[in-house]
Amino acid sequence: MPRSLILAVLAAALLLPARPGLCRQGERIRHQASITARDTRVQGMLGGAFYDQARGKLYLTDVAGGRILAFDAEYRFVSDFAAGGALKEPASLVRDGRDRFFVAEPGQGRVLVVDMAAKTVAGLDLSAARGGNPVHPGRLALDREDRLYLADPANQRILVFSPDLALEREIPVPGTGLRDVKVDASGRIYALDTLEARVRVLAPDGREVLALGSRGPGRGEMLFPSSLAVDQRGVIYVADAHRDKILVFGPDGGFLSEFGATGWLEGRLDGPSFLCLDQDGRLFVVDQMNARVSIFR
């Protein structure tokens, strides 16, 4: 084969988008769009993401820039917000029905409550949470009643706060490397363990009802799971930051598919670090090394 033809074939292969994965029979997940560093005006590193269904907005955290970035449903930049300089290293964030942002700042050892209606900023009271180590604020989630779930990796537990921000209970999580937490519409809790490459599914009362995942480099296995998301059907998505893939599991824990490939071109991934979903099935992937958010559907 002539050298020029070989180069042309290789160039065409490099331009192919990430291969979509089969989520369910007849359904394929495809790259839809990207929010790039130019779009986000990020001053440092992207942290967490949260899609506010009621307002039709996507929120991202600019960790080094100390800001929350807002985008509309068409992924256009709308505004940024620094809470009057109160935000220092915002990571995970959620927004509840009372117009309050909850922003975890692990480097500062705190969760800030930014009340947009009252125009106040205060720290979430963590003093009632006893443990062998000080609370290390990790990822955040909300349930349908606006209870706040806070992953505390330092004590391998999830702290649950009432809508009035009183500590309701602590949920111990088996394992050693708690990293992420999500809650589905039925109140089931999903806890991601990075070190054990496991997702543990807990009933609302904290009982473990399902565990899935295994460590390895093969199809359906994980090397360094960094985040998870759950859709309205109970389908579980897990980002593997070291394999640059998104793994998809059914509600029963069975492996369905995986998609993604390493690279900088549109639709490819390099160090996916955070996942969130909207109710329309759009999956937002914070693609850390590419400094962008990739949207799949």
Q: pLDDT tens, 56-106?
A: 999 999 998 999 999 999 999 999 999 999 999 999 999 999 999 999 999
Tens digits of per-residue pLDDT, 139-155?
999 999 999 999 999 99
Tens digits of per-residue pLDDT, 166-211?
999 999 999 999 999 999 999 999 999 999 999 999 999 999 999 9
Residue ranges of domains in the chain:
29-296
Q: What is the mean pLDDT of residues 271-290?
A: 96
pLDDT band of 10, cuts 50, 70, 90: very low
Tens digits of per-residue pLDDT, 17-45?
444 444 444 467 999 999 987 777 776 78
Neighbours of 250 (CB within 10 A): 16
Query: What pLDDT is recorded for position 27?
Result: 62
Tens digits of per-residue pLDDT, 218-259?
999 999 999 999 999 999 999 999 999 999 999 999 999 999
The most confident of the ranges 10-19, 32-41, 125-134 is 125-134
Q: Which fold has domain 29-296?
A: Neuraminidase (2.120.10)
pLDDT at 15 over 90: no
Alpha carbon of residue 95 to chain centroid:
14
Query: What pLDDT is recorded for position 81?
Result: 93
Query: What pLDDT is recorded for position 56?
Result: 95
26 vs 262 pLDDT, higher one: 262
